[in-house]
Structure formats: structure tokens, C-alpha cells
Structure 1
Amino acid sequence: MSGALARRRFLALGGGLALTGGLAACSSPLASGLTGSQPNTADVIFWNLFTGGDGANMVLMEDAFRKTHPGTSVEATILGWGNPYYTKLALATASGTPPDVGIAHLSRLPLLAAAGLLEPVERTGVAELGVTADRFTPAAWKKATVDGTAYAVPLDTHPFVLFYNVDLARKAGLLNAAGDGLIPLKGKEDFLTAVKAMKEEGGAQYGAVMSITADPSTAWRYFSMIYSGLAGPIVTDSGTRISMDEEAMRETFAFMQSLTEGGLMPRSLNGSGANALFSTGKAGFLFDGEWQIPSYRLVKGFRFDVVPFPALLGPKPVAYADSHALVVPRNAARSAARTRDAARFIKSLLDNSAVWAQGGHIPAWLPTQRSKAFLDQSPQRNYVRAAFDAQYDPAAWYTGAGSDFQSTVGSTIIDVLSGRTSPKGAVAGMRADLKRYTTARPPVTMK
């Protein structure tokens, strides 16, 4: 993009992104400037939003590239998670000064692609290095594709998963004959029986916990996983039409409420409270994202494992998920040499993504996912199936990681979990939430 069109598209996109600030599932801000140029101070300019353990792992992967490509320099910049990152990425691209490679959540891809901010993968040169669709987890590659064109190279899948306390599970009779895994659970009755056993036979204060009170994004992930086993997306036509199945929604809410009203889960609990109860043996199960794994590894003497959620209300298991992906922002001035270096950098990150998996994420690159370096990692290898059963946010300009949409609908779901509203009332509340977004004017034309 260039000139007036680029500026108009950026201003429109910026307006859309202004609606999507929210909770950070991956990290916290390091830098958040929204203006400024991007000089070519290295052969590859790389922007990402990773701090903490993920940030440390990404640095190791960058260093691996430098070691194998000594004549190619990389400059990595860490920006504020969520709205600051995506707004600056849009601004830099629209002004002709983008990074060569950036990170994007696949749930954010529809808006970025519609705004014309990304190079199609076929123009980035990665295919010549063997980076092709058949070498990725199918669900992730499908989500990286908008209107038949791939705009991102998936790095991982990070699903909402089922943590369990191994010692409590043994007491509750929930381990298999070998004692090295959870018994198969099929359907809601098996699941409810297992949660009850954790409390009654296992001796836990609660059968299960999750962050509820101040975490609408987690509530949305939990709801979406269960509902998606019964029905399709709650919005369609690029987010302009409400398509929710009210009967399926009432069934989902009733199931969720049966756990909290029956005392198997607390009605009100924040993230730190859920972590404390689970890590001290006062809760048998934890519903959370796999990115929490590194923090529980730090708890001395605590034995836990992680598996995908079983099928609950529908016939097949569903894993709510998102993916970090590598994108090449459009830049008409980028030289062939810089494009080649960017492609080599992307391929290197994929080849070294077993390091990335140490943070809990499932590599989307199948050669890594099937490698000994990854399969030696536990519990990561136990929930790989979740990447193939992944269900992402519905495609719309307002959905995605850290979005205001997740906060809004998540708040309605919290009202159900806390018992403040009935399943019937929650359906009406959800419809009102969705109407707010489906009737809003998209910042760019969405196909």
C-alpha cells in the first residue's frame, strides 16, 4: 500500500483496533510507541510481543538463526501486547516502514488481511524453502488462509486444555491401569463424574477451578469450546450476521452452571486464586491455557499433567485455540535480498520451534511436531491432538486475541458461572452483545 489509500486504510484499521484492547493471554507490554519509522538497521527487522518465558525462548530461536546464518543480522523489537502492537504494525505498514517479519495471532488475521497489510505467503519466498501447506497442522493452516489465500505461516497452536493433579487423580481412581495417564472420558456424564470424584474420593476442596471473576477471555474460551461441540460459529458472514443456535447455547450454559451450582467449582474466583487452589492440591482439575505450564513446573513437589478436553456436549472433542503466526507486512520498497533473508528467518524459527514448545505451545510445523526434540517434552506431547481439533474465534473484524469482543461476551458468561443469570437470560444477553458488533460498521471492507 502507498499514498492516500494506505493512509485511509490505516486510519480505518486503527479505528477498528481501538475497539480491541483487552486482557493479555501471552505477555505484558515492554514498549508501546505508536509512531516512528523503521530504519533498515539490520538485514531482518523482526517485531514480536513476547516477554517472560516466551520471550526468552524466542531469543534462543533468534540466536539459533544468527549462528547458522552468520552473515545475516537480525534486530528484534518487543512491543506492547494487544492493541499497541497491532496498531503500530498497521501504522508502520501503512507508512511504508514495516518490519520484515512480524508476529500475529491467527484470530486477528481477517482484519489484517482485509486491510491489505500483509503479503500473501506465496510471495514471501518461503515455499522455495519447503514451507508448504502440507507440512502444517491442518487447522492452523486453514485459519491462516483468508478467501483462499494464505497470509501467515503458523508457528504454533496454543489451546485451552485440561490440567489435573496426578496424586488426587490416583486417589479418585481416575488414572489408567499403567498409572501414567487419565482414564478416557466420554461425554458430559463421564466428565461430571470425574470432577465429582476429584472432590469426593480425591479429597479436594473443589473438583475443578478456573479463573472466572476478572477474566472474561478465559470464560469465553471455556464457553466457546463447549458450544462449538454442538453448533457452528455464533456469527457468520465476516461477523455481520448473528448465527447463534439458542438451544445449543442454553444447553451449554446449563452444563456450565451445573458445575458451579453443584459446588464442584467455585462461583467466583480470580486467576491467582485458581492457581493457588490447584497448585496446593485443593482442586483436582484446572481449566486453562497450556501457557500456564511453566508456572506450575516451579511448584516444588507438585505433580500435574495436561490433556485435551474430552467431548462434552457434542460427539467430538473440541479444543478452543489460537495460534501465533509469522507474517510479512507489505512493503513495496523491500528488496529481493531482504525478502530472501526474511524467508530464511521464518524457516529457521519453524525448524527451531521445539524450543518454542517449551513454553507449552504445540508446534504447527509438522517436522518439529513429529521430532524427538518435541516428543521428549512432557506434558506437551500429551495434548497434541488438541491442535487438530482446534476451534478458533469466528472470523470477524472485531474478534481475536485480547479483543473487546472477548471481554464483552465473556462478561455475560461470567454472569452464568456466578449464578447471577439463568441460561435463558444469558442467551438474551449474548444476543444483545452480538448485536452490538454485527451492526457496527467494519473499519475495512470484509469479504
Structure 2
Amino acid sequence: MRKKLAAVSAAVALLAGAAGCGGGTDKVNDGPVSLRMTIWSSNEAHLTLFKQIADAYRAEHPNVEAITFDSLPLESYTTTLTTQIAGGKAPDLAWIFENSAPDFVSSGALLPLDETLKKAEGYEYGDLAPAPLKLWQRDGHLYAYPFSNSPFGIFVNKDLVGQAGRESPAKLAADGKWDWTAALDTAAAVNAKTGKAGLVVRDWDYKAWDNLSTIWTGWGAQSWSEDGKTCGFDKPEMVEAMTVLHKAIFTDKALPGPGAGADFFTGEAGMTITQISRAALLKDAKFAWDLLPLPTGPKGSYAVIGQGGVGVLKRSPNAAVAADFLAFLTNPANSAKLAQFFPPPRTSLLNAGTLAKTNPLLTPEQLQRVVVDGIATGVVKPNHTGQAELSQAVRAALDPLWQPGADVPSVLGKVCQTITPLLGK
């Protein structure tokens, strides 16, 4: 396993070494070109929209014969992408998660995008908000476009909450009582009264631990310090947050335990923490639902943002064409279309009225309090250089926590013992 992780962690570095071997020219090729872009989603609505935009680009650029979107499994997305890179099968464009942004941006693997985007007709580069760009910049250049800036919220199955005899989360929020105590109490009641899962942290599944930042940030906890050098898992705020979470899982049954999955979108859970890109799954929902901001924690209200950047691989023989397509994909008109799933960094589009035009399933109020306000105040999920090895180390060190009777402070202390040498690299 250590050898495999080392290979994955090194893949981006290998690509950087090969970055100068062809590709990355400023000239857009005139000959026949086919582009491939890796993405995490296989959602039909997402893919349909991507393909429509790609077809419009191809209609204006006859030399581009095909643009394909390669959906990779979410749980192994970055591993698969870096394996493709190491194996000489890198895509032309790639969706990059925020947790691996530092590795990709610092590696030299990506083509700088500034010049292409600024020169694109009607692009309005100045419309891009500075804050969302920060993670994707180095030495004054933008190496990936933060295509998706999506705050996490809580989707609520109003029917199950009602069957559990609990006040609606919307009413609690209106009364200033929507906090983690109330949310976990509601989740526990749903499980006790209906037999359904209470609260599901989507895509966590006791593996993707960084999704738990949607909870612990409410306590002011951090996985590591802002400079990335000091472990935060053993700090009092994290110990308190994880103690509350452990009790919610193993004593109160507010969250399903290890190995017990439940899909909110098919009616199997009272609540789920996820992003608005999943709202499309509720198009034909057979239950009443709502969307709320994350509950307040001991440190008050907060928001957590998941970002996805799209970059052009420098070693692609069609890098210039790929960058040109990226400029088309993210221009004002197409950003407005894509905003129904992926909130863009464009200030002109980051208002409830504009977003509501392409998000018919969500109300302007939901979009304002979860998306617009969340982007304005939120922190990005944990990210660090050497993320592949670091993430696996955290996951393995946290495993003893996910059983009844676990000593929370002891486990979290051992997490820090494990990852401190990695943070120092």
C-alpha cells in the first residue's frame, strides 16, 4: 500500500518533469483534434449540459473532431487521474479537487491560463472574484479555473422529520435554533421513530474524512494550521467536535454506523450534508424536501466550500486547443448555464436572482442562504501538498475511532503522531 501511495503521489511530479516534452504551445492547432476531459460526475443532467456546450464549440471550430467527457469514479478519481498521467495517458483537460490543488498547481503540470482567458473575446476576466481563484494560483498565474465553488448545505426530508414528530429544521432556523444539538437530536428521532437513517454525510462513508470538515468547522477545528505545518486533530476544538460526532453515531444512532449506507435521495434518510450539484437527483423526488445552511456550532455560523478546478495538462499535444475550449466552457454565457449545478466564481452570477433562473428546483431564499452567503464566508475543505499520502495516513489513523468505546482524545493524538512528519515535508 505504501508503494502504491508513493507512486500516486509521485505521478504529478513525473508529469511535471515531462511537461516540457511537447505540447503547451501558444498556437491553436489547425489540424484535426480530439479532446478528452476527465470529470468526477456521471450524472446524466451534468453530462448532457457538458455535451451541449462541447457541440456548440465544435460547430465554431471544425478542426475539433470530438470532445469527450471521461467520468471517473468519485472515490478513486484522483488516484485514477494520476495513474493515467504516470502511464502516459493524461487527458487534455482535467477536473481537479481542492484537496489535490496544491500538488497540481505547484508541480508545473498545468498550463497557465491567464493569457488565454484574458484574450478570449467577451470573457470578462475581471468578473472573476479574487477569493475563489486563490487556491489555483501561483506566482501570479492561474493554473486551473475554479469551475465549481459549491458550499455544503443540509438537504432535509420534511416527510421523515414530520413522521418523527420533530419541528421542521426550517422553523428551527427561522427561530435561531438551527444548531448541531438540534440537528443531531432531529436525526436521532428520525432513526428511532421511522427506522430510516437520521443524518448522512454524503461521500464520507468512514473513508473520505475531509468531508467531516462540514461538521468540525462549527467547533473552530482544523485538520492542520493555515500554513499546513501543525496538526490540528489533537486540539481541544477537534476533540470536542469528534466526541460529539462519536456519541451521535454509536449512542444516539443519529448517523448510520460503519457499513450501514443510506441514500437520502431515494428517501432512505432524514437529512444529508452535500452540495447543490446533487439537487438534480431530487427532480422526481417522492417526498417533500428543503435545503438549509449547515447548523451553527459552538463557534457560531459557518460555511464549508468544496471547489473543483479545471486545468489543461501541459504535456497534452493539444494544450492550446484545450485552453481555448476551457475559455469557451467558462465564458459568461456558459457559466450561467452551468451555474445550476456548479456555482461559478463570476461575481455577476453570484446572486440569488441570477442563480434562480437556472436552478428551478431551488428557491431564491435557499440559494441566497446556502450558496451566495456560503461562498462569501466559507472556508475550503482541507488541502495540502502530498495529499494522497497524507489523506490515506489520516484515514488509517482515524479507523480506531469508528467503533463503540473508542478513546477519542487518544485516537486523535495518534493521528497527529502519524501525520506530523508528513506535514513537515
TM range (shorter): 0.7 to 0.9
Q: State which of 401, 410, 417 in structure 2 corresponds to 1:432.
A: 417
- Decide whether aligned partners of structure 1 residues 137 and 392 sit closer, same or farther in structure 2, where only a CA change above 3 A counts: same
Provide the residue aligned with 1:445 in structure 2: none
Change (3 A) 1:190 1:213: closer
Unaligned stretches of 5+ residues in structure 1: 1-11, 21-35, 442-447
Q: RMSD value over aligned CA atoms?
A: 4.2
Match of 2:391 among 385, 402, 406: 406
Does structure 1 retain, via aligned residues, the 8 Å contact 2:156–2:289?
yes
Cα distance in 1, alignment partners of residues 214 and 169 from structure 2: 28
Instruction: Give, in whole Å, the separation in 1 of the partners of 2:327 and 2:12.
Output: 35
How many residues are treated as equivalent by the alignment? 393
Q: How does 1:36-47 map to 2 (within 5 A)?
A: 42=32, 45-47=35-37
Correspondence for 1:113 among 75, 87, 105:
105
Counterpart for residue 285 of structure 1: 271
Q: Is the alpha carbon distance of 1:244 and 1:42 closer, same or farther for their aligned partners in structure 2, counting shifts above 3 Å?
A: farther
Report matched runs for 1:10-409 at 5 Å.
16-17=9-10, 42=32, 45-53=35-43, 54-67=46-59, 69=60, 71=62, 73=64, 75-79=66-70, 80=72, 81-89=77-85, 99=92, 101-126=93-118, 128-129=120-121, 131=123, 135-136=127-128, 139-170=131-162, 171-174=165-168, 176=170, 184-196=176-188, 198=190, 205-210=196-201, 214-217=205-208, 219-223=209-213, 225-227=215-217, 229-232=219-222, 234-235=224-225, 237=227, 239-242=228-231, 244=233, 246-266=235-255, 268-270=257-259, 273-275=261-263, 279-280=266-267, 283-299=269-285, 301-319=286-304, 321-330=305-314, 338=321, 341-342=324-325, 344-348=327-331, 351-358=333-340, 360-370=341-351, 371=354, 372-378=356-362, 381=367, 383-384=370-371, 385-399=373-387, 403-409=388-394
Aligned-partner Cα distance in 2 for 1:266–1:388:
29
Residues 389, 195 of structure 1: alpha-carbon distance in 2 compared, 3 angstrom cutoff: farther
Task: Indicate the SS of the match to 2:299.
Answer: coil
Q: Report the counterpart of residue 403 of structure 2 in structure 1.
A: 418
Q: 2:9·2:389 contact (CA, 8 Å) conserved in 1?
A: no
Structure 1: distance between partners of 2:106 and 2:7: 13
Structure 2 CA distance for partners of 1:45 and 1:339, relative to 1, 3 Å: closer
Once the two structures are TM-superposed, the CA of residue 103 in structure 1 deviates from its matched residue by 2.8
| TM-score (normalised: structure 1) | 0.71
Write the distance in 1 (CA, Å) between the matches of 2:259 and 2:398.
14
Q: Report what 1:32 is aligned to.
A: none
Change (3 A) 1:354 1:421: farther
Structure 2 Cα separation of the partners of residues 74 and 344 of structure 1? 18
1:26 paired residue number? none
Counterparts in 2 of 1:127 and 1:322: CA distance versus 1, 3 Å: farther
The one-character-per-residue Cα deviations of 1:123-144 (angstroms, maximum 9, x if unpaired) are: 3243554656653455422222
The CA deviation at 1:325 is 1.9
What fraction of aligned residue pairs are identical, expressed as a percent? 16
SS of the residue corresponding to residue 242 of structure 2 reads helix
Alignment partners' CA distance in 1, 2:231 and 2:124: 34
Deviation at 1:110, TM superposition (A): 1.5
When normalised by structure 2's length, the TM-score is 0.74
CA drift at 1:246: 1.4
Could you list the per-position Cα deviations for residues 145-181 of structure 1 after superposition, in whole angstroms to 9, with x for gaps in the alignment? 235432221111244431211223445222557x9x8
